[in-house]
Structure 1
Amino acid sequence: MNKQELLNIIKAKINDKIQSFENLIAETRASNNDTKSSMGDKYETGREMLQQEINNLQRQLNEALNQQSIIQKISAEASGKVQTGALVKTDKGLFYVAVSVGEIILENQKIMTVSAESPLIKAMSGKKAGETFSVNAVSQTIWSIE
């Protein structure tokens, strides 16, 4: 499995997400400005709702920027234990410890990207191939770590 290619896919997904949020924020701000100039004071509620939407989008953008910052620090080097940057194969699936951007299909394999802060990764953190861990009463065995 090419971990560098996996990292590149995650970086591209995060960059797309950031671009999308920036565009949505710009469009919503433009909409808010249109409302201000054309509708008058009786539409304060609508403007407040638009401002709340901008704030919500800004929070999501900040989360995506945080993910981008985390992913920039991850190396494609092989890892002997479960830690950030490790590709972990268990009897239940293939997990990449980085940031959570969902499922990625690479080389015809489904890989779940998982945050190092997730309960699953916390349960397997520091473990090595051959060791077993349990999350929500489901036991898994680590087959390999790259």
Structure 2
Amino acid sequence: MDKSEILNLVKNKIQQKIQTFTSLIEETRASSNDTKSSMGDKYETGREMLQQEINNLQRHLNETLLQQNKISKISAEPCTKVQNGALVKTNKGLFYVSVSVGEIVLDGKKIMTVSEESPLVKAMFGMKVDEQFSINTIQQVIEEII
């Protein structure tokens, strides 16, 4: 399995999220500017709700930009132990240690992207092939690291 393809899929997914959040922020700001009323309190409440939504979207955008920064530092080089950039095959699934953007599919195989802060990665970080770890009382064996 080609890790550079996986890395590109993750980068593309992050880029799509950035574009989505950016356009949602722009749309929400535009609707905020269009809200004109002489209703007093109702007008202020509506504007405040829109502002809260903008703040929420901005927070998500900032988190996604941090993910983009982290993923830009990850290499597609082969790994011998569980670390950032490692593709880890256990008896329970395939995991790409990078940033968490959910499941991606490559060549018909499901790969779960997980960040180094996740409990799963913390449990197996630094381990090598044939080592075992337990997460949520489920025993897993590292079968392969790419």
**TM-score range with shorter-chain normalisation?**
over 0.9
Amino acid at match of 2:132: T
Report the equivalent of 1:137: 137
Report the equivalent of 2:68: 68
| TM alignment of 1:1-146, pairs within 5 A | 1-35=1-35, 38-40=36-38, 41-42=40-41, 43-146=43-146
Give the Cα separation in 1 of the matches to 2:114 and 2:5.
Answer: 17
Give the Cα separation in 2 of the matches to 1:105 and 1:15.
Answer: 17
Q: Deviations over 1:67-117 (max 9, x none)?
A: 000000000000000000000000000000000111111011110000110
TM score, norm. by length of structure 1: 0.97
Amino acid at match of 1:70: K
Identity %: 66
Structure 1 gaps of 5+ residues are: none
Structure 2 gaps of 5+ residues are: none
Runs of 4+ in 1 over 2 A off after TM superposition: none
Give the Cα separation in 1 of the matches to 2:108 and 2:124.
Answer: 25
CA RMSD of the aligned region, Å? 0.7
Q: Deviations over 1:13-60 (max 9, x none)?
A: 00000000000000000111111xx21333100100000000000000
* Local SS of the residue matching 2:70: helix
* Local SS of the residue matching 1:112: strand
Give the Cα separation in 2 of the matches to 1:78 and 1:109.
Answer: 19
Give the Cα separation in 2 of the matches to 1:123 and 1:106.
Answer: 25
* Local SS of the residue matching 1:39: coil
